[in-house]
Structure 1
Amino acid sequence: MKNILAYIFLGLILLPRDANCADEKVNIIPDVVYGHKYGMALTFDVFQPQNPNGAGVLFMVSGGWYSRWTEPQNMQGWFNPLLEEGFTVFCVRHGSSPKFKIPEVVEDVRRSVRFIRRHAEKYGVNQNQLGVWGGSAGGHLSLILGTTSDQGDPNATDPVLKNSDRVAAVAAYYPPTDIREFVDEKSTYYHRYPALQFEADLAGDFSPLLHVTPDDAPTLLIHGDQDELVPISHSNNIMKRFKEQKVPAELIVIKDAAHGFKGEDQNRARQAVVNWFKKYLLTP
């Protein structure tokens, strides 16, 4: 059972099976390079709807902090509900585990936001109407962006780094919100997920639970009440912090769902994400 849950956590459930739903009306720009590291390119794919609404959603391709490449046409089915409402979707890949650890992964996804903001006009989106969405490790990264953004470094020599990595809205499925207990050699998570194998005293820096402040992005959490891999307490705890800090937030609990949504649960979650971004990215 643990092995099955581990594979789910790696994000296999995020790869949609309905590849046939690719719509020729959607323009796909594959493999846009937003940075380099160790001689390798960091890339994202852009999905542009026929009638864009001016808002963009970054999808974090991350499960267990592994970030796998998938043929863009095979990913489109996952994004169709957003595309049909006019959202431009950026499918973002980061430097993957096991080579890279969470601190390095976070720098990558920060850079992806900065890059897209810098080139927003090119992709037909408003730089102030960017949201981020992910599941499991991708949800963790989405919350990191929602709670610990900065305005960029005006003195940076790299023009991308001069831009803010702030997002206007967040949606996260079953996200780890406090990784301090995971970044411990005694933890089974530590040995199962190599991205957690970094200095334990830095774990708090990458635990969204500890960084909630009133200016955080409006956040939607969706979690199954039978999740054994990332217990629902992770979402409950950060939801409490959001309420205390008066951050617009909502937690949708899916009854009897484990780690990964299927069938009607998946449809319900996807529609909730669409509604959330319509509310917080399209409203002036």
Structure 2
Amino acid sequence: MRHFLPSSPYSLVCLLCLCGTVSSSRTVRAADVEITPDVVYGHKFGMATTFDVFTPQEHANGAAVLFMVSGGWYSRWTPPEQAQHMFRPLTEKGFTVFAVRHGSSPKFSIAEAVDDVRRSVRFIRTHAAKFDIDLNRIGVFGMSAGGHLSLMLGTASDEGEADAKDPVAQASDRVQAVVAYVAPTDLQVMASDAPNRAAVYDRFPALVISRTVAAEDSPLLFVTPDDAPTLLMAGAKDDLVPISHSRNIQAAFEQAGVTSELMEFPDAGHGFVGDDAQQATAAMVGWFEKHLAKK
């Protein structure tokens, strides 16, 4: 089993409308959730890659859901106290949420962002006991570029390197459920040398790549029968990431026998608002409840 909104990728409003240590400068307790910010899961170029943890204070179900903080493969930091309400649909159901940041474009490539989020899964699985989650019940979701990274984890993961010196690298980066909103699935059609490439993609430095390089991180090309159960959601009026991206990977999932579903929103573009947002959120939470339930 081996993103894309330039505004506020951390905000679930958009969805609703190498060695680290488990450490943090502070832990914040609210009435319903405990926030552990800036947990370091890796290092590169003298910098740390981090995530924030939102742990429900009551009725925790032991399952983890990772949110890919990514828009245009750029990962923005936001004070987690300002974001906790955005994850409430999940934390109220007992899920522990990890808001994962990756190295951002244009400094880092899409391939490097994929490597980062893969390490985040390995790190969380390695330290599952400290986070009080079940290492075999990990889901992931994201929008646009975040949806792309989610699909890469669902289709192109591995079991880790058994003989690696780094214990984190020994762990699997497989996930057990995926939800991808308006996600690019074939980066080849967005690459610099793609025929009839849409001019809007010139706005995204991450897409200054060749079709050959793009193929290496295109989830559509990695679909196999062992992929994680996947829910796709797409807007029929999306001009940035056309609905064909979701339709094509859904067809590939069906051919491979992967448990999957595509929800199409006839009047939605690149993001959901109003009733569409509420329906999408309910479907996302329901998908994780179904596929991450304790056996």
| Counterparts of 2:77 and 2:181, CA distance in 1 | 20
Task: Answer whether contact 2:37 2:52 (CA < 8 A) is retained.
Answer: yes
- Distance across 2 between alignment mates of 1:254 and 1:76: 27
* Seq. identity, %: 57
Q: CA deviation at 1:200?
A: 3.4
For the residue of structure 2 that corresponds to 1:89, the secondary structure is strand
Q: CA deviation at 1:88?
A: 0.2
- Partner of residue 106 from structure 2, selected from 91, 98, 105: 98
Aligned to 1:151: 159
Partner of 1:47: 54
Aligned to 1:37: 44
1-structure distance, mates of 2:157, 2:10: 26
Which one of the candidate residues 231, 238, 258 is aligned to 1:227?
238
The CA deviation string for residues 190-209 of structure 1, in whole angstroms up to 9 with x for no partner, is: 53111122353121111111
Pairs within 5 Å for 1:1-284: 9-12=5-8, 15-16=11-12, 23-50=30-57, 51-185=59-193, 187=197, 188=199, 190-284=201-295
In the TM superposition, residue 23 of structure 1 has moved relative to its aligned partner by 4.8
Local SS of the residue matching 2:168: helix
Show the counterpart of 2:21.
none
Query: SS state of the match for residue 61, structure 2?
Result: coil
Cα distance between partner residues in 1 of 2:168 and 2:235: 37
SS of the counterpart of 2:40?
Answer: strand
Cα distance in 2, alignment partners of residues 11 and 280 from structure 1: 31
Aligned partner letter, 1:266: A
Number of residue pairs the alignment of both structures matches: 275
> What amino acid maps onto 1:271 in structure 2?
A
* Whole-Å separation in 1 of the counterparts to 2:229 and 2:30: 30
Residues 131, 13 of structure 1: alpha-carbon distance in 2 compared, 3 angstrom cutoff:
closer
1:167-214: CA deviation from partner (whole Å, max 9, x where unpaired): 000000000000002122464355311112235312111111111110
- Is contact 1:101–1:197 with CA below 8 Å preserved after alignment? no
Question: Against the structure 1 CA distance between its residues 14 and 31, is the aligned structure 2 distance closer, same or farther, given a 3 Å change threshold?
Answer: closer
How far, CA to CA, are the matches of 2:30 and 2:233 in structure 1? 28
TM-score w.r.t. length of structure 1: 0.92
Distance 2:75 2:176 in 1: 24
Equivalent residues of 1:213, 1:245 under 8 A apart: yes
Deviation at 1:78, TM superposition (A): 1.6
| Greater helix fraction, Structure 1 or Structure 2 | 1
The 1:122–1:24 alpha-carbon spacing in structure 2 relative to 1, beyond 3 Å, is same
Counterparts of 1:166 and 1:234, CA distance in 2: 22
What letter matches 1:53 in structure 2? N
For residues 213 and 88 of structure 1, the distance between their equivalents in structure 2, rounded to whole angstroms, comes to 28
| Shift in alpha-carbon separation, 1:74–1:26, aligned structure 2, 3 A | same
* 1:50-86 per-position Cα deviation (integer Å, ceiling 9, x unaligned): 1210100000000110100001011112210000000
Contact 2:224 2:256 in 1 (8 A): yes
Equivalent AA in structure 2 for residue 15 of structure 1: S
1:13/1:141 CA distance change after superposition, 3 Å: closer
Partner residue of 1:5?
none
User: Please, what TM-score do these two structures have when normalized by structure 2?
Assistant: 0.89
Q: Which has the higher contact order (CA 8 A, sep 6+)?
A: 2
- 1-structure distance, mates of 2:109, 2:200: 13
Deviation of 1:132 after TM superposition, in Å, equals 0.4
What amino acid maps onto 1:145 in structure 2? Answer: L
Task: Kindly provide the amino acid, as one letter, of the partner of residue 124 in structure 2.
Answer: I
> Is the Cα–Cα contact under 8 Å of residues 41 and 119 in structure 2 kept in the other structure?
yes
